[in-house]
């Protein structure tokens, strides 16, 4: 795998591109969220990051402060509405505004669709859709609508057509893609942009912890550019979208996946018994 060279923060953007802005990144202690918090801070934004575990948050804050940035960390489970309120309280207490919200926290497990229990389905949708909406609503109402400005990002998946083993997760991400589109119709009048970013498979600790090397090799083979993504491939895009250069982009999904969405699931469709797909050979044809 050829993803080992991290990119410097803020790639080609000016180092003061986000100066004066405040960004809230959920799940900002690790992986894509951490890279995004670093990129936004390297562009001059003050950053608030939250997640359940305090340790990764503290480490990310140290890196941000080493860049000369300001970072507030908050240990919170965003599935709890009271935690969402507390995160927004803390961000507003610390910096007085929130200009950019990156709804990055998310997670799932891989399982055949028919084996996903109602509780497992709910756990994934509760985080990816309900908690994301709760945070978005709170930030919009308290920080963005009153100032008539803001940018909200949602994280989806590529490929976008469906992914075997991810029925719950891929459908949840389709919901947030639609949310980005729908909110742009309602919130452009408040100067709020809503954009969905759909990463392909990105080499993060989260991926290492939850998927096998075989999964990764298979995914790598399905990427036309021939490598998995780096967290910085995603964070650089978000930093651009949050900048003035991105100010005409809203209500859409931007895919960052090395071309994977152009190829689809990237492996043969699962075997299906012939008689189930050919009406003439159905065993029940004469006896429906």
Ligand X SMILES: CCCCCCCCC/C=C/C(=O)SCCNC(=O)CCNC(=O)[C@H](O)C(C)(C)COP(=O)(O)OP(=O)(O)OC[C@H]1O[C@@H](n2cnc3c(N)ncnc32)[C@H](O)[C@@H]1OP(=O)(O)O
Ligand Y SMILES: NC(=O)C1=CN([C@@H]2O[C@H](COP(=O)(O)OP(=O)(O)OC[C@H]3O[C@@H](n4cnc5c(N)ncnc54)[C@H](OP(=O)(O)O)[C@@H]3O)[C@@H](O)[C@H]2O)C=CC1
Query: 12, 82, 93, 117: which one contacts ligand X (CB under 6 A)?
Result: 117
User: Could you say which of ligand X, ligand Y, none residue 241 binds, taking C-beta under 5 to 8 angstroms by partner kind?
Assistant: none
52 vs 142, beta carbon nearer ligand X: 52
User: Could you say which of ligand Y, ligand X, none residue 32 binds, taking C-beta under 5 to 8 angstroms by partner kind?
Assistant: ligand Y
Q: How far is the CB of 210 from ligand X (least distance, A)?
A: 5
Per CB under 6 A, 265 contacts ligand X: yes
158 vs 243, beta carbon nearer ligand X: 158
What phi and psi values does residue 89 have, to the nearest 5 degrees?
-55, -50
Lay out the site mask for ligand X across 138-157 (x = CB under 6 A, - = otherwise): -------------------x
Query: 206, 246, 251, 259: which one contacts ligand X (CB under 6 A)?
Result: 206
145 vs 215, beta carbon nearer ligand Y: 215
Q: How far is the CB of 262 from ligand Y (least distance, A)?
A: 16
In 3D space, the residue among 7, 68, 9 whose CA is nearest the CA of residue 36 turns out to be 9
Chain residues that interact with ligand Y, rule: CB under 6 A: 26-27, 29-33, 50-53, 56, 76-79, 104-107, 127, 155, 157, 199, 201-202, 204-207
User: Could you give the C-alpha distances from 125 to 9, 26, 171, 214, in angstroms and in order?
Assistant: 31, 16, 9, 27
The residues, ordered by sequence, that sit 6+ positions from 127 with a Cβ below 8 Å of its Cβ are 78, 79, 105, 106, 107
| Euclidean distance between CA atoms 228 and 231, whole angstroms | 10
User: Could you say which of ligand X, ligand Y, none residue 117 binds, taking C-beta under 5 to 8 angstroms by partner kind?
Assistant: ligand X
User: Could you say which of ligand X, ligand Y, none residue 123 binds, taking C-beta under 5 to 8 angstroms by partner kind?
Assistant: ligand X
Output the residue with the shortest Cβ distance to ligand X: 119
Query: 127, 156, 179, 254: which one contacts ligand X (CB under 6 A)?
Result: 127
Q: How far is the CB of 123 from ligand Y (least distance, A)?
A: 10
Q: How far is the CB of 121 from ligand Y (least distance, A)?
A: 16
Q: How far is the CB of 270 from ligand Y (least distance, A)?
A: 21
Q: How far is the CB of 201 from ligand Y (least distance, A)?
A: 4
Query: 94, 111, 145, 175: which one contacts ligand X (CB under 6 A)?
Result: 111
SS (HEC) of the chain: CCCCCCCCCCCCCCCCCCCCCEEEEECCCCHHHHHHHHHHHHCCCEEEEEECCHHHHHHHHHHHHHCCCCEEEEECCCCCHHHHHHHHHHHHHHHCCCCEEEECCCCCCCCCHHHCCHHHHHHHHHHHHHHHHHHHHHHHHHHHCCCCCEEEEEECCCCCCCCCCCHHHHHHHHHHHHHHHHHHHHHHHHCEEEEEEEECCECCHHHHHHCCHHHHHHHHHCCCCCCCECHHHHHHHHHHHHCHHHCCCCCCEEEECCCHHHHCCCCCCCCCCHHHHCHHHCCCCCCC
Q: Which residues bind ligand X (CB under 6 A)?
A: 107-109, 111, 117, 119-120, 123-124, 127, 157, 159, 163, 201, 206-207, 210, 218-219, 222, 265-267
């Amino acid at each position: 795998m050829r993803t080992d060279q991290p990119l410097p923060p803020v790639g080609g953007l000016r180092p003061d591109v986000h100066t004066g802005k405040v960004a809230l990144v959920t799940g900002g202690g690790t992986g894509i969220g951490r890279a995004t918090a670093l990129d936004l801070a390297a562009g001059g934004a003050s950053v608030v990051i939250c997640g359940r575990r305090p340790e990764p948050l503290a480490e990310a804050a140290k890196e941000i402060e080493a860049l000369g940035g300001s970072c507030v960390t908050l240990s919170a489970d965003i599935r709890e509405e009271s935690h969402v309120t507390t995160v927004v309280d803390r961000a507003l207490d610390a910096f007085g505004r929130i200009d950019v919200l990156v709804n990055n926290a998310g997670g799932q497990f891989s399982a055949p669709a028919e084996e996903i229990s109602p509780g497992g389905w709910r756990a994934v949708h509760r985080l990816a859709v309900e908690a994301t909406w709760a945070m978005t609503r709170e930030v919009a109402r308290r920080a963005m609508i009153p100032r008539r400005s803001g940018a909200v990002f949602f994280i989806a998946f590529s490929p976008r057509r469906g992914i075997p083993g991810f029925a719950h997760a891929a459908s949840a991400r389709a919901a947030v893609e639609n949310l980005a589109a729908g909110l742009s119709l309602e919130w452009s009048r408040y100067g709020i942009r809503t954009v969905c970013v759909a990463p392909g498979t990105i080499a993060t600790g989260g991926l290492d912890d939850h998927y096998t090397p075989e999964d990764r090799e298979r995914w790598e083979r399905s990427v036309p550019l021939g490598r998995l993504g780096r967290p910085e491939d995603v964070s650089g895009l978000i930093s651009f979208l949050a900048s003035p250069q991105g100010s005409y982009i809203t209500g859409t999904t931007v895919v960052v996946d090395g071309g994977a969405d152009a190829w689809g699931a990237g492996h043969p469709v699962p075997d299906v018994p012939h008689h189930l797909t050919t009406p003439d050979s159905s065993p029940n044809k004469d006896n429906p």
